[in-house]
């Protein structure tokens, strides 16, 4: 298909960038493409109910080494939209986005988590801030959204600090463990 030269060049650049692993310096941490040798640290940090209780059920609990290897097998390539967070030179958690399909294809859902020993230092805010920028650069999406459970004020704060607006509450929308929870919906629109 013929394109204006500038648009064609930009598209070529985007495609060649996507063929290389990602490594973004986010200040307090690095956001990078997953590697096979992340499996053990991923399993050790992710196998924690204090993390899993705030995540979707697709984040397994308990979290075994096979779960970690399966996740890495799916995501350790340059086109993945799920990334490792590295802090103090160690694997520290994950961050990523997933585009919806059909009429919602210009929206992506974004998420993040950190191993408990890394909480409370601003790392999630730094990593998620970088991810938001990356998603808007790489994708033609106009909206990024995230839902935090009502019992997770830390995550709501991360979203606010990253410029997301609270849009409303999906009442009694999920069950985690034995608890029925509201989901607080946040979104950031393309500038
Ligand atoms: C949510 C999570 C990613 C936050 O990571 P983090 O690196 O500790 O977050 P940050 O340090 O960047 O920011 C946390 C903010 O929450 C605030 N906070 C911490 N505990 C809080 C509480 N009980 N109530 C309200 N705010 C709280 C902090 O003060 C900080 O805000 P501030 O900078 O204005 O002071 C981490 O706790 C986690 O991985 N939790 C489990 C998984 C999860 O919840 N994922 C998100 C699913 S939506």
The whole-number pLDDT of residue 86 equals: 98
The whole-number pLDDT of residue 125 equals: 98
pTM: 0.93
In CATH, which superfamily holds the domain spanning 5-145?
Gcn5-related N-acetyltransferase (GNAT) (3.40.630.30)
Q: Look up residue 22 and give its two tokens.
A: 């990602």
- For atom 24 of ligand 1, the residue with the nearest CA is 153
Which residue in 120, 176, 126 sits closest to 147, CA to CA? 176
Residue 19's pLDDT band (cuts 50, 70, 90): confident
Neighbour-count burial of 130, counting CB atoms closer than 10 A to its CB (0-12 exposed, 13-18 middle, 19+ buried): buried
Residue 170's DSSP bridge partners are: 183
Mean pLDDT of the region 31-41: 98
Mean pLDDT of the region 156-180: 98
Contact call for residues 39 and 95 (beta carbons, < 8 A): no
What ligand 1 atom has the least distance to the C-alpha of 50? 41
Could you give the C-alpha distances from 38 to 24, 33, 97, in angstroms and in order? Answer: 17, 10, 19
The whole-number pLDDT of residue 6 equals: 74
User: Mean pLDDT across the chain, nearest whole number?
Assistant: 94
- For atom 19 of ligand 1, the residue with the nearest CA is 154
Q: Look up residue 140 and give its two tokens.
A: 């033609």
Q: What is the 3-state secondary structure (H, E, C) of 34-68?
A: CCHHHHHHHHHHHCCHHHHCCCCCCCCCCCCHHHH
pLDDT exceeds 70 at position 4: no
* Ligand 1, residues at Cβ distance < 6 Å: 51, 54-55, 111-114, 119-125, 146, 148, 152-155, 157-158
Cα 18 to averaged position of ligand 1 atoms, centre (Å): 30
Cα 51 to averaged position of ligand 1 atoms, centre (Å): 11
Ligand 1 pocket: which of 93, 154, 174 to mutate (most atoms <8 Å of CB)? 154
The whole-number pLDDT of residue 5 equals: 64
For the chain, give the percent of residues with pLDDT over 90.
90
Residue 164 CA to residue 185 CA, distance in Å, equals 10
- DSSP character at residue 164: P
What ligand 1 atom has the least distance to the C-alpha of 147? 48
What is the layout of strands, in order, in the sheet containing 30-33? 23-25, 30-33, 82-87, 90-99, 107-114, 143-149, 179-189, 165-176
Residue 123's pLDDT band (cuts 50, 70, 90): very high
Domain boundaries, the chain: 5-145
Residue 18's pLDDT band (cuts 50, 70, 90): confident
What ligand 1 atom has the least distance to the C-alpha of 124? 7
Q: Look up residue 178 and give its two tokens.
A: 């034995």
């Amino acid at each position: 298909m013929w394109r204006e030269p500038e648009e064609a060049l930009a598209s070529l650049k985007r495609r060649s960038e996507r063929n290389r692993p990602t490594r973004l310096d986010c200040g307090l941490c690095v956001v990078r493409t997953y590697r096979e040798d992340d499996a053990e640290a991923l399993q050790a940090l992710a196998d924690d109910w204090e993390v899993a209780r705030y995540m979707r059920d697709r984040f397994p609990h308990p979290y075994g080494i096979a779960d970690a290897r399966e996740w890495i097998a799916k995501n350790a390539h340059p086109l993945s939209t799920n990334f490792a967070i590295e802090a103090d030179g160690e694997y520290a958690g994950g961050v990523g986005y997933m585009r919806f399909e059909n009429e919602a294809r210009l929206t992506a859902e974004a998420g993040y988590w950190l191993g408990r020993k890394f909480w409370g230092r601003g790392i999630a805010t730094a990593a998620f801030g970088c991810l938001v920028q990356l998603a808007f650069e790489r994708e033609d999406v106009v909206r990024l959204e995230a839902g935090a459970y009502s019992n997770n004020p830390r995550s709501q704060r991360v979203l606010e600090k990253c410029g997301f607006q609270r849009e409303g509450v999906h009442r009694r929308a999920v069950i985690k463990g034995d608890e029925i929870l509201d989901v607080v919906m946040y979104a950031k629109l393309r500038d």
